[in-house]
Structure 1
Amino acid sequence: MRSFVMAVMAAVTLAGCEQAQLGVDDAWVRLPAVSSRPGAAYFTIKGGADATSLLGVSSPAAVRTELHEMKHEGGMMTMTPLKDVAIPAGSTVKFEPGGKHVMLYDISPEVRAGGKIPLRLAFANGKTIEVEAELRAPGQEK
């Protein structure tokens, strides 16, 4: 019985030492209404034990990508490119419509709503994370 109690205590102690791990969830891409226009990628980044920055996102389905952010300025919505995006330790950073997002330029004509494409996120700490992003039609939110 004593060894069982010791094993449980050790497990509880180790669980408390578990460190947050950098991760990406809920990735999706809104395809453009006109094929010559860019699409937009959205996802949620969960910060790890240490702060880092998102440096860029790439996909074999797009020729070029850019990090952007929408903001209200002077009563108007503006979109500005971002060099990188800070990911504080243990925090959540959302890329969502009307906020931070990734513009996908010259998307492959084979890409269709209902499918998936890979997104590769590169971070300042040297880590890369690849996720499958669900493809949604123009105007489709979920």
Structure 2
Amino acid sequence: MRGFPGMVAAALLLTGCGQPAELGASQAWVRLPAVAGRPGAAYFTVRGGAQADTLLAVSTPAALRSELHETMDHAGVKSMQPTRDVPVPAKGKIEFAPGGRHVMLFDLGPNVKPGTRLPLALAFASGKKLEVQARVVGAGDPPPKN
């Protein structure tokens, strides 16, 4: 019976050790443009891993070009501007959402229609790459429920 309290203590210590935080992305979706030929927009959430990282680019084979963008508010006047990268804090969360950070998708292919999915490839400064499947919604449709 002497070993039993030691085993209980070891088990309690091990249960307190969770998996290390891992860089990830989820809740991805794309809104199609209201006017054909205009860019669409991609949104998603990035969860930081154990170490801080920086999102450098997002791409998809469904668009000829993509850019990281951020909506800025200048005394009540909103404008969009490209951004080179997005810092992702360790164990933090960065949301790409309407009215804030987003990815502009230029020259979307003709097969990208509401109800389909398309892959988004996220590239980070650490060299890590993630791929998420984004739900496609029409210009006037509500965001998908994730």
What TM-score does the superposition give when structure 2 sets the normalisation length? 0.89
Q: 2:108: which partner in 1? A: 107
1:1-142 aligned within 5 A = 2=4, 5=8, 8-9=11-12, 11-15=14-18, 18-142=19-143
Unaligned residue ranges in structure 2 (runs of 5+):
none
Distance 1:91 1:75 in 2: 28
What code does the residue aligned with 2:87 have?
A: A
| Count of residues paired in the alignment | 140
SS of 1:114's partner is: coil
Unaligned residue ranges in structure 1 (runs of 5+):
none
Distance 2:108 2:61 in 1: 9
Percent of pairs with identical residues: 49
TM-aligned CA deviation for residue 35 of structure 1: 1.9
**Structure whose alpha-carbon radius of gyration is higher:** 2
Runs ≥4 in structure 1, deviation > 6 angstroms?
A: none
SS of 2:17's partner is: helix
TM-aligned CA deviation for residue 139 of structure 1: 2.1
What code does the residue aligned with 1:139 have?
A: G
TM-aligned CA deviation for residue 5 of structure 1: 3.1
TM-aligned CA deviation for residue 19 of structure 1: 1.4
- Note the alpha carbon deviations across 1:5-62, whole angstroms, 9 max, x for none: 36633531432xx211110010000011122000000000000111110000000000
